[in-house]
Chain A
Amino acid sequence: MIPGRGRFLAAWVRTFAVQGSWNYRTLIGGGMAYALAPLLERIHAGDPVALRKSLERAATEFNSHPYLSPIAVGALARLEYDRQDEETLRRFRGALQAPLGAMGDQVLWAGWRPFCVLVSGLLFLMGVGPVLTAAMFLLVYNAGHVAVRVWGFRLGWARGLEVGAALKAVPTKRVSRAFVFVNQVLMGAVAALLIARISGLEQGGWIGPSAAAAGLVGYFVPRGVAGLAIAALFVACLL
């Protein structure tokens, strides 16, 4: 039986909690079962054995970026509705994980999120109030976040088994490269403005060049200087 609008809405809302039972064995498998449950109940209405099997399948190991999990929830529900066989479902789940994880990390975690954070930081350092800045960050960031979840859920249900081809059409690399470039510029600007705010800076003109040198060293030898950089902050507390 095809799920009604209310069931789709319930499943979509539940994807916000898809990582709620994250664990080292099934990753977000439990969350996938939780999100799929309202749809599976309807798809397998009157067939408790099929419902049991589909819930057990849904709860097995799975991983995805949380914002893109609605794609998986929509597509897996569609496959269950289309009565795809067990092997197809298993293969499909396996094939979907890597692109959903990689796309989310590149575009959302390394792109959209730092972009919104850094623009907010810049606004604060230019004099916008902290509460207003934080509220603006939440509003703008979540406009993108919710839009991605809505798009993903619709795409997953509409394309089902063909969702992989639709994902290939998304210009992930181009978008993530643009974000990387802009975020590097923003990060440099925010760091320079924060350093300029440190009291006593106006008395020491050598702080600027030293900071630039430290930034360069940090960029080119990242892991090697992390401990030293943290140690410098500890020492700064005592001087």
Chain B
Amino acid sequence: MIKKLTAVTIAAVLLISLLSGVSSAARSGFDPKKVGGKVVLTSFSDAVTLIPLRANDQASNDIIGMVFDSLVRKDFYGQPIPGMAERWTYDAKTLSYTFYLRKGMKFHDGKPVTANDVKFSFDMYTHPKTLNTYKADFTDIQSVTVVNDLTVKFTLKKKNVFFLTNAANSGAILPKHLFPRGIDDYNADNSYFSRHPVGTGPFKFKEWRTDERVVVSAFNDYWNGRPYLDEVITRILPDNNVESINLIKGDVDFVQVISPRTVADVEKSSNLKTVVYDRGRFDYIGWNNDNPLFQDKKVRQAMNYAMDRQAVVSKIMLGRGYLGTGPFHPKLPQENKNVKPYPLDLNKAAQLLAEAGWKKGSDGILEKDGKKFEIEIAYNNGNVTRPKVAQILAQNLKKLGIKASVRGYEWSLFLDKQQKGTLDMYVLAWGGYDGNVEHYGILHSSAIPDKNGDGGNNAWHVHYSKVDQLLEAYLQEEDSSKRNKIYQELHAFLADEAIAIFTHHPKLTAGMNKNLLGVRISLSSPYFNIEDWYWKK
């Protein structure tokens, strides 16, 4: 099976390289007439550091994604395709991948890229002292050895079916010659490199003015041909409304997400267009499953029957969204199509609560063992959608005799409480995944955070041996269709257990200049093909 897969991969890779003419000058379909111009993007917050995998914030990672490149890239659907490595082989017996680098690749400072740089980069990411934020993705790497200048071999400790799309994709190639002190330079918080990065990506770093903007410009020697745009400017703007004002005024060319209520204003402008796109994300109302209130499955199901998902999608999202059934996006094969969203059914909810032992007291509030059913639904201040979602649930819960209130918390405080598991209920989302989605980190019992919020991201405190088994089996299954079946099973199980209220998967709306063409937004990134964006001439 493995051999067959490898053979198919090599064949596919060869075919692709034949089609593209193996020339490093330009990608297939490159049209020199599209070259030129600059585009202005926005970000709510300034970048923090531009050293790959040191940052964990979106702003930094967006810039890093333009400046750096890796051995393996992902196609629109998240499948691995050749990046800086023109091909690779896998040997199942020794658990090793051999990558063959393209000839003639250069860093932005003109120095050639060699296998030594690849080894150096992964040595940084796996170093025992590394401050790599995503080091968990790299723990399966046993060793990286240089075979020759253009060949490098990775040996894994154990099978990892996501190696190509995970570590090999996110492990950006660093210029060894700019890290003379090795790991100390990589870990350094305030280095020259962290604010003046040098990579091999389609854009080279040009300028970073704190809290104003970051500018990158086209790298002419990019192995896949230069990007069409001469410059990409990311302006730091404080919020959604200001972004929209700048977009309408023409000072900004592309805004990732326009809030539903400003869509109409943007659409009215004759210079702009909007594009509705899917993002791999799920929105939910969560709780701590260890909270005595929610330990009874019937109560959790009652909460689900009390939620009006349709109102969220049609009234709040104005139709731009899918009803939620679980933590898998409907556009992904991991979703189980047989799982239907819980309908709004207050009678059923009342019945389930009664079966769970909750009886109405003299004041009309549900009681059990002398304790009243009182909950607070939390959201983060500044978010415009979440308070409305919380209100919809709170109104229905009140009809059931539950004393429900809604409260906004400042973001940092909200995160703190959520991670520590002290919020009754909270409205949140989780996203940015594609076909390589894996939920080990948020659903496995080993990832449940302790009282200080340490130890993992399973803040909903889900712990079932069945869930653990499915999550583990998924990571070991090489056959993707079998793998997807495992998650479909997980999906059905989670829905029945009602571990949370999965409300919806929003469709997002991007706003952009009418003349900006070639934009393709993938499930995991709005800048998926930014090197192919161009201006209508």
A and B are interacting partners: no
A interface residue numbers (CB < 8 A to B):
none
| B residues at A contact (CB < 8 Å) | none
